[in-house]
Amino acid sequence: MSQKDIGNKIPIYKLKAGKEVEDYYDEWTIENKYDKDMVDWKYSGPQESVALFKKHNSKKEIKILDAGCGTGLVGVELKKNGYLNLDADVPVVI
């Protein structure tokens, strides 16, 4: 995604810090909108991450901790590539 595209697609960069940003993210999670946007925008970060991971580790049975996994897009790609021993560490917001 080019820098030009980011400004057009992700209005969060135009928001002020604080409650305005929190509200935006809260709304972005409704009905899986974030993941749908990533697909629509052809976001390739998870695929690129897994391609690099595969380059350095071909052992499919290794234990993988996806710390800070967010919505799990990297985990989905790992599973598509045969890495099934995954654990996700979802951050807890207090």
- Quick: pLDDT tens for 45-84: 999 999 999 999 989 999 999 888 888 899 999 999 999 9
What is the structure's pLDDT at 13? 73
| In a shared domain, residues 24 and 60 | no
Query: How many folded domains does the chain comprise?
Result: 2
| CA 65 – CA 63 distance, rounded (Å) | 7
Q: Structural domain of residue 63, as residue ranges?
A: 44-94
DSSP secondary structure, the chain, as one string: --HHHHHHH-GGGGSPSTHHHHHHHHHHTGGGHHHHHHHHTT--HHHHHHHHHHHH---TTS-EEEET-TT-HHHHHHHHTT---EEEEPPPP-
pLDDT tens-digit readout, 9-48: 667 777 777 888 888 888 888 888 888 988 888 899 999 9
| In a shared domain, residues 70 and 25 | no
| CA 56 – CA 12 distance, rounded (Å) | 34
| In a shared domain, residues 9 and 55 | no
| In a shared domain, residues 36 and 53 | no
The pTM score is: 0.71
| In a shared domain, residues 51 and 93 | yes
94: confidence class by pLDDT, cuts 50, 70, 90: very low
